[in-house]
Every structure is written in C-alpha cells, then in structure tokens.
Chain A
Amino acid sequence: MTTLKNTPLKTFKKALLVVACSTLGAISVSAQADNVNVPDTIHWTIPFGVGGGTDVWARFFTTWMSDHIQGNPTLVIDNVPGGGSINGSNLFAMRADSDGSQWIGTSASTQYPAMLQDRRVRYDYDDWTPILATPTGGVVYAQPNLGDTAEDVLQAVTEQRVKFAVQSHTGLELPVLIALDLLGVDVQAVSGMRSRGEGRLAFERGEADIDFQTTSAYFSSVAPLVESGRAVPLFSLGVLDDSGQVVRDPAFPDLPTFNEVYENLHGEAPNGPAAEAYRKFFASGFTLQKLILLPKDAPEALIQEYRDAARRFVDTETFKEAAMAQLGPYTPVVGEVVEQHLQDAMSLDDDTRQWLVEWLLEQHGARI
C-alpha cells in the first residue's frame, strides 16, 4: 500500500506555494498596469493671450483629454503671452519639468520663427515630443472686380499688381506669399495687420485685392461674401494625406488645390527652392498648425498614455461633431506620425533658407 504523501504539512506547503505564485503574478500584473503614474494636475502652457485662437483651441481640448486620460487629471491652462508666442515658449524651454505634468501648445507662430532662426528664439523643437497635432486648411480668394470666375481672376492677377494685407511677412501668410509668387502673381504685401480678421476687413473695404483665411474663419466670415458675390475663391491649400501627397481639402471639395492650379499652368508639379520652402512652411504651419507637446525626456509610459488617450476620442462621432465648429472637418493626427512629419517639416536646409532670405528682401523689403 502506497503511503499517502499528502500529509497536512505538504498540502499546506502546496497551498502556500500556490498562494505565493498567484500573489506574485497579481502584483506583477498590477505593477505593469500601475506603471503609468499619471499626475493629478497637468499644467498646459499656452504662449498666447486668453481668448486667442490657440487659447480657445486648448480650452476645447482640456475636457476631452481630461476625460480620456487614465486617472482623469485636471488640466490647467497657463497663458504666457508675448513676442508672438516666443516668450512663453522660451520660458517653457527653460523652466518646464520633465515629469510629464507640463505640456505646451504651439502653433505656426511658434514653429515659423524657429525655422527662420529668429534671434529671439531660445527653444528647440528637438527637445519636445508631440502628443497630437490639429491640421487646418485655408483658401485664397479675390475681389470680384478682377474677374467672374476663378480662372479669369487667376489670369488677371498675373497681369497686374495685387495688394494683400498680411500680419507680417513671416507669419502664417508666408506659404501663401510663396505660393502666389510661384503662380507668377505680383503681390504687394501690406503688413501690420493685427490679426487675420483685420486683413479680411481690409479686403471687405476694398483696400486689398486678394486675401487668405483659414477654414474656420472662411466659413464664418468669407462664405457669406462668396454667396453674395463679393468674393471669388481661387484655390485652397489642400491637405496632406497619409502618404504625404497634397489632396483636396475635405472642407472645400470643389476648390482646386494650389498644386493643381500650378500644374494646370505649368504642366508639372512645383519644384525648386521656392517650392521646397512652400512645402516645408505648409507642412509646419498648416498640416501641423497646432501641436500639443511635452519635453522629450518625460517618462515614456506617460507619453504613450497621453497619445493613447487622444486615440480614444479622435475618431468618435461625438468628438467629430463637437470639433466641427472649433477645428473644421479635420481629424487630429496623433503620436509618432506627427513626430516624423514635424522633424521633416521643420528642418530647412541652407539653400532653401538662403533663397528665402533673398526673396523676402527683394520681393517684399523684409529682413529676417
């Protein structure tokens, strides 16, 4: 007869082992899940004034992000205006902690000075990594006295000097200036507008011959003009699809893109230093118009969690509906894709920058 090995002591030892193993397993599983130590409060620096475009954009995102990040942290917006967003960005670069609780929201006005090596810039996009980017589109339109249809106007503007009211020669209008130059339009850029809205006002007063507005401003203020025959839309800037090609803007499916108009005119795609400059500034100012970034050396797990949180809502119907008014019909781009585009877009090679410096001085009398 075999002796029963299962003495009470052995059973006890076995049970202990089972308990120990399962506890260990449970701890390690929960430890992995608890790896993401999301801070209670996230401080989001917005280097723009309260109520401005980027501020409103950020406030729109605070509820969405707060609801979808694990642990539901509170997002507090810290406005640090000045220098056209340079001051706030400089301060963030200098002061922000890398523990994942400090974010910054930038827009084209922050990207462009960095690309143009403005001497006030003391921040570097290489030190930051993006969570998400929201693209925008834009439309160039003209006075109806230049022609009835877009084709007539495009013909007319290559034959006479047209006035365009801009904020500065190196602001959001820069790619538009380059695009018009590529199309052979002789543009007299009158600077000093304090907002794109003022530029639109100059157009409505009849002082400016052509103007440019981003999607949301176009819908609210320019579409009525077009409907009543006081403005003729010429082309949109288009958007980049996943493979990096410029396609028609979903907000303006009936308008040709700048690239289409160029190809119609010249028979080939735009090339040369001007086209290269256009491509870069278009990418960094429109495809990645507004960015949520944080210091690169924040904990990797946190960065992933923030990106995952964004992924949880950007494709939902509720978000798209709510975002339509604020952002237009564009889906935010999340995570690593943004990083790739950002690096490519913001690196201007010396030839292109040289061309830009000379062109700005010759064409527009602006020095950078």
Chain B
Amino acid sequence: MFDVLFSSLGQLFTVPHMLYMVVGVLIGLIVGIIPGLGGIAGMSLLLPFLYGMEPSVALGMLMGLVAVIPTGDTFASVLLGIPGSSASQATVVDGFALAKKGQAARALSSAFLSSMIGGLLGAVVLTAFILIARPVVLSFSSSELFMLTLLGLSMVAVLSGKDVFKGIAACGVGLLVGTIGMAPATGEFRLPFEIDYLYDGLPLVVVGLGIFALPEIIDLLVKRGAIAEQPCQLGKGWKEGVRDVAKRPGLVARCAGIGSLMGTIPGLAGSVVDWLTYGHAVQSAKDKTQFGKGDIRGVIAPESANNACACGAMVPTLLFGIPGSGTAAVFLGGLLLLGLQPGVSMLETNLDLTYTIIWSLALANILGAALCLGLARPVASLTRVPFVILAPLITILILFAAYQATRSLGDLFALGVIGAFGVLFKQANWSRPAFLIGFVLAPGAEAYFYQAAQFQGADAFMRPGVLIIGALIAASLVIPPLRSYLHAQHQRKATTPHTPLESAEPLSLGAIDVVLLASLLAGAAYMWSTFADLSMLGGIMPRLAIAIIVAACVLEIVRTVIKPMKWQTQTLSQQLLWVAGFFALIGGVMVLGFLFAAAIFCLGFLLVVARMKPVAAVGLAAGVTLFLMGMAHMLTLNYPTGMLAGL
C-alpha cells in the first residue's frame, strides 16, 4: 500500500497535474465565492473537457474543485451573511456577527486556517479509512441513519438556549416546510395552495438565502452605516484569527474527525455536519454566552468540519457509487466519463488513482486556503464600505443565487416569502438555525424512519448502533441542564446566607412574538386541513410537525402566563417597508425581465438611496449587468425575460 501511496504522490508533482489542479482550485474558489453556484455549477463547467483526458490529470482537476468549495464560500458567509452553499450555513451565524463587530479579517483567517487543517485531517482519515470503509459504511442501516438525523435535530435544543419552546416551534415550522413536495412512502404530493413550483419541495439554496441573508440585508439597511459597526483592525485581526486556531487544536481536530466520518455515511453529509459540529462547539464550551454574537469557535468548528466532510464524502462515492453530496454526484458522472467505474475496482486495479484523488484533495486544500488567506485582508475591507452601496449589489446577487435553484420565477417569490418569515423571526429573536435544521433534516428523518420501520420493524431498537446513538442524544439533552443545576447547587452551598442569589434573567415577550404565535397556530390549522386527505403513511410527517408546532406554541403561551415577563419593544415597520420593496423588485423582474430590472434597480438605488455620484452609480450598475450577462453565457442561463418582452 505504501509504495502506491508514494508513487501516486510523485506523479502528482508533475507539471500537467499541478497545472490542471490549479485550474480546478481557481474555478472552485470562484464558484464557491459566488453564492448559489456551488459544486454542481463548477463541475458542469469542467465536465465538457473531461472526455478523453488522462484519468489522473482529470481527477486532479476535479479534486481541486471539490476540495476548495467549502473554503471559498466562507467569504460570502462571513462578509455578507449569505450562506454560500449548504455547507456554510452555520458559519454565517457567528462569522457575520464577527464581521459586524469589525473583526471580519479575524473570522476569515481563522476560517481558512481551520478549513485547511480540517481538509488535511479529512484526507488523512480518508487514506486510512478507505481500506476498511466498506464494512463500516454497510453497518449503518436506515435505523442508524434515522438516529443520526434525530441527533442533528436534538441540536435544536442546544442552540435555542433559554427560549427552548420558541426554538422547538421554529424547528417544527422547518420540519413542516421540509415535508412539502412528494411523500417518499406513497408518492403522494403535499402541496399547500396547489402550487406547481412546490412539487420538488422548496430548494435549500432559496430557504437558506431567505432565512439568513435577506433579513440581515434589511436589518443593515434599517440601521444604516457599514457592515462593520465597530472600527476594523484588519491587520491585527488577521493575525488574531490565526492565533485563535492555534490555541484550539482540540476543537479543530474533533470537528474535522466528526466531519470526515459523517461524510462517509451516504445520505447525511453536508446538510447536517456543520450544525452538528456547531452544536458540539456550543456544548463543549464553558462560556456559551457569545455564541450567536461572534464567538470565534462558532466559525472554527463548522469550517474545519465541512472541508473534512468533503473529503469523507468521497468514500461512498468511490466505493459504492452513491454520491455523498450534490457535488459528489456530478463527480461520479465525471468518473464515468473518464471510463472509471466506482466500486471495489477503485481499491484494487485503480488504487493509484484513488490515492491520486486523496493527495489532490490534500494539496488542493493547502493551495486554496493559502490563496484565500492571502485575499482575506483586502477582501475584508469590504465590510467598511457603507452598506447602502453594497445593498443593491448583494440583493441582485442573492436573486441570482436563488434563481440557480430551479431557474424559474418561483425561486424569486419563494425567496421573498421565506425572507419575510426570516425578518419576523429575527426581530422576535426566534432561532433561525432551528428552522433550518428542521427543514434540512425533515426529508431524511421521514424517509429513514419509514424505511427502518419497513425493513426492520421493531428489531430496529435492538441494534447496537441505534442504542449507542440514542445514548448520545440523551446525554446531549440531559447533561448540560444537569451540569448547570449541579453548578448552581454548588454555588448556593459556597455562598454565605447573606449574599443574595443571582436572580434569573426575566424572559421577554414582544409584539412580534404574539403575532408569530398567533399566525403559527392559524397556519398549523390551515395546513392540517389541507393535508387532511393524505393517507396515513403519506401524512404522518406533516401531522407530526404540526403537532410539534402547536405543542411548542401552547407551552410558550403557558410559560408567558405563569412566569414574570418583561415586555420588549420589537419594531417591525421599517423592516416591512423594505420587504415590500423587495417584492416590488420581484414584480419589476416579472414585468421588465431580470437584466433590465437589475440594472434599473441598481442605478436607482445607488442614485437615490445611496446618493452616489452618477458616474460611479452608472459604472457599478453596468458592472452588475455585465456580470449577470457573463454568468448567463457561461452557465447557459435563461433569465426571466419579463412580460414586456412578450408584447
């Protein structure tokens, strides 16, 4: 084994290999930085060139692409609050918060360094693991996979902090939204309002952008100023980020380990891994108060995990021909075009190519991270630009990114609707990560539960894997409150009787909370009646989600009645204005066509709201339009042409 390992490394250091790998890395970075594109777009750019290429060279190029996408998408997550791809959502929470505190460079450099280390560790794990992987992967049946999705869902409790019922309600809403589409058990369609667009369910890109990016944009527009509210110290921040990672090797290593092992299990991969490790970082931290407000550990954990996961996802792809992620699915197509068959042959006759893949992953991670580290400081200065200038550009960018989902107008509308929800959640402090976790895990939870029940029946509970993961879930739910209770007991014994005890912070309630509770209950009732004629198997998941929503809302109401409450003013009027403006923009796209509407919107916004000089405004608007046209050409896109064009 070792001779093949080193001979393939030697092969990698030849000029054509390195050249093509650098090409793959560059395309991967660009594709990762532009939100909404992701691995699938990158692969589709490279695929036409693959046919007839020499396999080891082509694989180096493809791996260059795959390895650096989770690195590059950090730019958008940290600087703009836009999750660049599904692997980068957890990074947004603390990364963007750090950017707002003026510490963007610190967040970026720590993210890239942990990405690099995570990717390298992932490649190491992959090397060792791939030889023994087959029986391990096969031992994860549908019941173990179901328990893993439950583990992911249990992170909701961890992430909701003291507003546990609101978090569960948000998760319930996410679960319900995640069930929209086709029921895996019976093929029935669950479509509220009978909208055709919803046949395939809501796309993850649209939901991620809507729930995170749009509310942040609106919030920044309302506040005025730049993304960085506090003065930036880019140079010091950069070095500090590097030191942050160096101080926490254990966290990086643990998350990379979790990430690469999760990636090897087909059917879970990127959708859960970043939240699992984020939740792990929260749980294992002694001081949890800064999470969500800019704790660097909230950036390090998911970033090292998602690069390791991209490596791990190669295991099921190469060994079983089952892609561990969307990018891996396209990579599989690339393998087939090169004449390679996934399966046992990758370990026997083509072991050298398998190792080429692993080495390329490692090298590409180093290259990509190094490039990004170099770019981190200059690009971080974007956060000092007044937001009113960036806002129209970012808005068009997220419209473009959302449009990539299914390339129809429905994407833009869905973005607006989810964005409106996101604004409500944000203003009332309901946990948006909880919503997203519910949404992402709902299809998996339903499918795996149904399959486990059909394949194994009650025997599922006897399986050792199920019991182990169940114990993990119980531990993660029980131990933290137990610990804090014991800690409080200890404190009480240690303090003298005259010292007043710390009083618990009173819980707060605001107008939007009331609105949300009421509308969730009403919405739940409506959905219940819509799904009334579904069969038992087809309707069980949405009904369960509705039950969770109702139970959590009721418990929250009960709690507000029982415990002392502080009334919190929650403003909404200005935000609503911007939401209305967003829908007006979508209307403009429908009438004038995407390119024209984008150009006019940018121009108008920059001139009127940002009060830019006309020359600069025209220049920026022209730049945006050129970018959109260039993308359309490269990706063979057809933007909506608007109703006027049809006249």
Contact = CB atoms under 8 A, between A and B. Distances in A.
Interface string A44-55: 000001111001
Interface string B402-422: 000011000000000000000
Contact of B187 (A63, A77, A170, A195): A170
B636 A78 contact: yes
B560 interface: no
B184 A120 contact: no
Contacts of A77: 48
A26 interface: no
Given A51-B334, A207-B142, A368 B187 contact: yes
B454 A365 contact: no
Interface stretch (B236-244, B342-350, B356-364, B493-501): B342-350
A208 interface: yes
Contacts of A197: 320-322
Contacts of B344: 224
A366 B188 CA distance: 8
Interface string B441-463: 00000010011001110000000
Interface string B151-178: 0000000000000000000000000000
Given A50-B44, A163-B455, A221-B343, A191 B329 contact: no
B319 to A, nearest CB: 10
Contacts, number: 120
Contact of B200 (A60, A80, A82): A82
A19 interface: no
Nearest to A57: B336
Given A83-B200, A207-B456, A51 B185 contact: no
Contacts of B343: 220-221, 224
Contacts of A207: 141-142, 451, 455-456
A49 B196 CA distance: 20
B138 A195 contact: no
B345 A55 contact: no
B40 A366 contact: no
Given A50-B44, A207-B141, A220-B345, A59 B337 contact: yes
A70 interface: no
A205 B535 contact: no
Nearest to A364: B186
Interface residues of A, number: 50
Tell me the dominant secondary structure on chain A's binding face.
mixed
A192 B267 CA distance: 12
Interface string A209-250: 000000001011100100000000000000000000000000
A56 B451 contact: no
B375 to A, nearest CB: 28
A205 B141 contact: yes
B333 interface: yes
A365 B535 contact: yes
A56 B450 contact: no
A25 B49 CA distance: 45
A169 interface: yes
B471 interface: no
A192 B185 contact: yes
B537 interface: yes
A170 B537 CA distance: 17
A202 interface: yes
A102 interface: no
Given A59-B48, A224-B344, A120 B329 contact: no
B187 A367 contact: yes
B160 to A, nearest CB: 30
A52 B341 CA distance: 14
Contacts of B76: none
B439 to A, nearest CB: 18
A50 B450 contact: no
A303 to B, nearest CB: 25
Contact of A169 (B187, B336, B345): B187
Contacts of A337: none
Interface string B350-393: 00000000000000000000000000000000000000000000
Nearest to A219: B341
A183 interface: no
B455 A208 contact: yes
A191 B185 contact: yes
Contacts of B537: 365
A328 B343 CA distance: 17
A366 B406 CA distance: 27
Contacts of A76: 636
Contacts of B342: 220-221
B133 to A, nearest CB: 13
Contacts of B187: 168-170, 191, 366-368
A70 to B, nearest CB: 22
Nearest to B453: A190
B107 interface: no
A220 B43 CA distance: 23
B51 interface: yes
A79 interface: yes
B466 to A, nearest CB: 14
Contacts of B454: 163, 188, 190
B604 to A, nearest CB: 32
A201 interface: yes
28 contacts: A49-B329, A50-B330, A51-B44, A51-B333, A56-B333, A56-B337, A59-B47, A59-B51, A60-B51, A63-B51, A76-B636, A82-B200, A168-B187, A190-B451, A191-B185, A192-B450, A192-B451, A197-B320, A197-B321, A200-B320, A204-B138, A206-B141, A207-B456, A219-B341, A221-B320, A221-B342, A325-B339, A366-B186
Interface of A: 49-52, 55-56, 59-60, 63, 76-80, 82-83, 87, 120, 163, 165, 168-170, 188, 190-192, 194-195, 197-198, 200-202, 204-208, 217, 219-221, 224, 325-326, 365-368
Interface of B: 40, 43-44, 47-48, 51, 138-142, 184-188, 196, 199-200, 266-267, 320-322, 329-334, 336-337, 339, 341-345, 406-407, 447, 450-451, 454-456, 535, 537, 636
What 7 A-B pairs have minimum CB-CB distances, sorted nearest first? A51-B333, A192-B184, A51-B330, A220-B341, A50-B44, A207-B455, A192-B447
